[in-house]
Amino acid sequence: MIKIALPKGRIAKESLEIFSRIFETKIEFDDRKLILEKHNFLFMLVRSQDVATYVYHQAADIGIVGLDVLEEHPLKVVKLMNLNIGKCRVVVGARADGGIDYLKPRIKIATKMPHITLRYFSQKAIPVDVIKLYGSIELAPLVGLSDGIVDIVETGDTMRQNNLIEVEKIMDSSAHLICNLNSFYAKKNEILSLCAKIQKEL
Ligand code: PRP
C-alpha cells in the first residue's frame, strides 16, 4: 500500500483529478472524512503546510506540496517530480501609490511566510521587521500595519483589487510530488510506476 498526503485547498482538487484519471474512478473524500482507501492506496487530506511533515515522519510515503510551502518549512524529503499544477509566485508587494521606501532604516513586511521573507531580505542586506499574519495579507499595507507584504500571487486579482503592485518576485512555485527516503527505497518500484502514470496524465 502507498500512503499519499494531499493538501487541502487550491492544489487538492487538481491532484484528486489526476488520481481519479489514473484509477479510472472518482477519488473523492466523503464530507468531513480525512482518510480514504482505494486500490491499495491510502489517501489522506492534510493542511498544505503539513504535507511534508507527514511525509518526513513516514506517516505518508509520498505527498503533494507547493515549492513555496517546502521552502518555508524545509524538511529533508525527495522531490520526485514537478506536477506543474498550483502554479503561483511569491512576491514582494506594496501600495500602488507608494511602493516601498528602502531608504527607511527598517521596513515592516507582513507575511505568512516569515522564513522566506527573512532569508530574502537578509540576502539583500535590507533590515526588516517581519509581521506574521495568517491570511488576508494584502490588507496590511492598506491600513498601515506594514510597508509591504511578501505573499503568493496566482492570478494577481487580490493584489490588483486592493491597489497593490508587485515590487519584486522572490520565487516561482508549483506543486511537486515528494517522498521520504525510506519509502523511496522500500517501495521504489511502486512509487516509480505511479510517477510514470502521473506523468502520462499531466
Ligand atoms: C492566497 C494569497 C493571496 C491570494 C492570491 O491567499 O495569500 O491572498 O491567494 O491569489 P490571486 O493572485 O489569484 O488573487 P488564500 O486564498 O490562500 O487566502 P488567505 O488570505 O486566507 O491566505
Only one residue has cell 493542511, namely: 47
Q: Tell me the best of 49, 68, 152 to mutate to test the pocket of ligand 1, counting ligand atoms within 8 Å of each CB and taking the most.
A: 152
Cα separation, 189 vs 153, whole angstroms = 37
Q: What is the pLDDT of residue 9?
A: 81
199 in ligand 1 pocket by Cβ < 6 Å?
A: no
Q: What is the pLDDT of residue 39?
A: 84
Cα separation, 149 vs 143, whole angstroms = 12
Q: What is the pLDDT of residue 13?
A: 84
SS3 187: coil
User: Could you state, in chain order, the average pLDDT of each consecutive group of 10 residues for the chain (202 residues)?
Assistant: 92 89 89 91 95 98 97 96 96 96 94 98 97 98 98 97 98 98 97 96 89
Cα separation, 141 vs 164, whole angstroms = 9
Domains and CATH numbers, the chain: 1-85+173-199 (3.40.190.10), 86-171 (3.40.190.10)
Torsion region of 101: left, alpha or beta (phi above 0 gives left; psi -120 to 50 gives alpha): beta
- Cβ proximity of 68 and 116 under 8 Å: yes
Ligand 1 atom with the shortest distance to the CA of 152? 2
- Cβ proximity of 170 and 119 under 8 Å: no
pTM here?
0.92
Taken in order 98, 100, 105, 106, is the CA torsion positive or negative? Answer: positive
The residues pairing with 35 across neighbouring beta strands, listed in sequence order, are 44
153 in ligand 1 pocket by Cβ < 6 Å?
A: yes
What residue's CA is closest to ligand 1, atom 19?
135
Ligand 1 atom with the shortest distance to the CA of 161? 14
The residues pairing with 38 across neighbouring beta strands, listed in sequence order, are 41
Q: What pLDDT digit, counting tens, does each position of 67-124 carry?
A: 999 999 999 999 999 999 999 999 999 999 989 998 899 999 999 999 999 999 999 9
Record the cell numbers describing residue 201, joined without a space. Answer: 496524465
Compute, in angstroms, the gap from residue 153 CA to the centroid of ligand 1.
7
135 in ligand 1 pocket by Cβ < 6 Å?
A: yes
Q: What is the pLDDT of residue 30?
A: 87
What residue's CA is closest to ligand 1, atom 22?
135
